[in-house]
């Protein structure tokens, strides 16, 4: 087992890293990249997931995560240091445990059931001197509370005395071509200075820069602050989009002009809502924690209200555009172009496309979709028909197209040319045709 690290947190990388066997629990958008990076950094790593089917796919050399290529999986496999399992007994040989399981909302409340399950697996394998890192996004106090308490209850090991416990938030931005795991700074906050030092030493193998903070609470809050910042600013421009339309103002032009200021401004752009595994969820974790204190986080609550109503606004704009050509929404043929929550990936988690689709279906629209990154779009158990291209033949019977997600690979010229009306929710088609309208 690894020795307990001393009190001083070293700033530079260790010249000769100590041998480590890591277990990464959860092999999704967060855990799989961590497992691959660890193997390529010379760490003997086992990737664990309760989904045996996912493990079987990985063992065949196929990535179930669209942001991780089969080629990158193959490179990590070639090190001979990477294995996968769905058997928790295979975790026993690890000295470092990295928990990367989802933390969704259930009825708008934090659901830490998967964290609890993962921590139970870890606690049954944990030995003195080991390191446990929670990467799953959660509310402040989870690491020192739920995680430490559960491990002590099961194993009798005390965090900071018998083993190292840290929180190190995932900062994955799926589809970002510039920043990945290696060149995105890693925050690490331990329950003691020694814990922080141990976590820092491990993550320096995987990333270029580690940012130690005072405790897990600061690390947990940093992650929530990052995405609350985005959530609130997206809500600001979404509300401005509605108001600027009423005032006859081109908001995208105004944003681009404001963005020329070299200080004090960061551009955000309106859209059909927010999606993914972070922005719609993370601020709710902090808001929920604050409510336990008898207070409220009004900025987050207002931002959530504004962003949640954007799919309804998109639907009303569709009805407006159809009404202008004397076409009712009921019976209209509408195609959603791009249904993933962001450009460049096929991730459907929390995509606003689901809310838009539900509203259109309830209104009687005949709905189809097109997205080169997505294989199936199912709304409330109903698989919707796919439009294979944006050509003249495939769009000949469409009354209106909604550019929901502006993937760079989309044939936007064909969309404008072949669809009689286009609602552009992303500002990607400004000035291309009189038949195109924005939010």
C-alpha R_g of the chain: 24
Q: Per this entry, what is the length of the chain?
A: 439
At residue 291, the pLDDT reads: 80
- For residue 22 the two structure tokens come to 């890591």
In whole angstroms, what is the distance from residue 192 CA to residue 16 CA? 24
Q: Are 268 and 195 in contact (CB under 8 A)?
A: no
- Structural domains in the chain, sorted by start: 21-214 (3.40.50.720), 224-305 (1.10.1040.10), 309-438 (3.40.50.720)
In whole angstroms, what is the distance from residue 41 CA to residue 58 CA? 19
Predicted TM-score of the model (pTM):
0.87
| Nearest alpha carbon to residue 287 among 360, 213, 228, 361 | 228
At residue 48, the pLDDT reads: 97
Q: At what angle do helices 310-324 and 352-362 cross, to 10 degrees?
A: 50
| Nearest alpha carbon to residue 377 among 418, 337, 325, 326 | 337
Any idea which residues carry the catalytic annotation?
278
At residue 19, the pLDDT reads: 61
Q: What is the DSSP letter of 30?
A: T
In whole angstroms, what is the distance from residue 113 CA to residue 135 CA? 15
Tens digit of pLDDT at every position of the chain (439 positions): 333 333 333 333 333 344 679 999 999 999 999 999 999 999 999 999 999 999 999 999 999 988 899 999 999 999 999 999 999 999 999 999 999 999 988 877 889 999 999 999 999 999 999 999 999 999 999 999 999 999 999 999 999 999 999 999 999 888 788 999 999 999 999 999 999 999 999 999 999 999 999 999 999 999 999 999 999 999 999 999 999 999 999 999 999 999 999 999 999 999 999 987 777 787 777 787 888 888 878 888 899 899 999 999 999 999 999 999 999 999 999 999 999 999 999 999 999 999 999 999 999 999 999 999 999 999 999 999 999 999 999 999 999 999 999 999 999 999 999 999 999 999 999 878 889 999 9
In whole angstroms, what is the distance from residue 138 CA to residue 110 CA? 8
At residue 7, the pLDDT reads: 35
At residue 74, the pLDDT reads: 94
Matching residue, tokens 């496309």: 353
- The arrangement of strands across the sheet holding 333-337 comes to 366-370, 333-337, 400-403, 422-424, 436-438
Helix spans in 309-430 (H)? 310-324, 352-362, 412-418
Q: What is the DSSP letter of 35?
A: H
For 34-43, b/e burial (b = at least 16 CB within 10 A) is bbbbbbbbeb
At residue 15, the pLDDT reads: 37
Residue range 138-160, pLDDT digits in tens = 999 999 999 999 999 999 999 99
Q: Are 128 and 157 in contact (CB under 8 A)?
A: yes
């Amino acid at each position: 087992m690894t020795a307990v690290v001393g009190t001083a947190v070293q700033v530079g990388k260790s010249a000769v890293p100590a041998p480590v066997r890591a277990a990464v629990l959860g092999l999704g958008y967060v855990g799989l990249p961590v497992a691959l990076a660890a193997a390529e950094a010379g760490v003997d790593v086992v990737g664990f997931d309760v989904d045996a089917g996912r493990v079987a796919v990985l063992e065949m050399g196929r990535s179930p995560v669209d942001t991780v290529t089969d080629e990158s999986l193959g490179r990590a496999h070639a090190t001979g240091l990477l294995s996968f399992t769905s058997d928790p007994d295979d975790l026993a040989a690890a000295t470092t445990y990295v928990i990367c399981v989802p933390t969704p909302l259930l009825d708008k409340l934090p659901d830490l059931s998967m964290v609890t399950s993962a921590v139970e697996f870890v606690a049954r394998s944990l030995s003195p001197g080991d390191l446990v890192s929670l990467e799953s996004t959660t509310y402040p106090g989870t690491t020192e509370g739920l995680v430490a308490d559960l491990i002590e209850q099961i194993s009798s090991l005390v965090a900071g005395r018998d083993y190292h416990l840290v929180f190190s938030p995932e900062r994955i931005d799926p589809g970002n071509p510039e920043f990945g795991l290696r060149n995105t700074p890693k925050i690490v906050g331990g329950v003691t200075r020694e814990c922080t030092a141990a976590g820092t030493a491990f993550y320096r193998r995987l990333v270029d820069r580690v940012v130690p903070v005072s405790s897990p609470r600061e690390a947990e809050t940093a992650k929530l602050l990052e995405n609350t910042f985005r959530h609130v600013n997206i809500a600001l421009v979404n509300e401005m989009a509605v108001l600027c339309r009423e005032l006859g103002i081109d908001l995208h032009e105004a944003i681009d002009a404001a963005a020329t200021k070299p200080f004090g401004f960061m551009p955000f752009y309106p859209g059909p809502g927010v999606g993914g595994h972070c922005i719609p969820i993370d601020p709710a974790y902090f808001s929920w924690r604050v409510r336990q204190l008898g207070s409220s986080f009004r900025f987050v609550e207002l931002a959530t209200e504004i962003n949640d109503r954007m799919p309804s606004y998109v639907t009303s704009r569709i009805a407006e555009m159809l009404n202008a050509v004397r076409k009712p929404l009921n019976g209209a043929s509408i195609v959603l172009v791009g249904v993933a929550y962001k450009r460049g990936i096929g991730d459907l988690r929390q995509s606003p496309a689901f809310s838009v689709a539900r509203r259109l279906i309830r209104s009687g629209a005949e709905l189809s979709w097109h997205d080169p990154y997505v294989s199936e779009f199912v709304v409330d158990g109903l698989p919707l028909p796919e439009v294979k291209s944006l050509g003249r033949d495939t769009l000949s019977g469409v009354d209106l197209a909604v550019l929901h997600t502006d993937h760079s690979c989309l044939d936007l010229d064909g969309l404008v040319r072949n669809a009689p009306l286009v609602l552009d929710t992303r500002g990607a088609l400004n000035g291309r045709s009189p038949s195109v309208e924005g939010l």
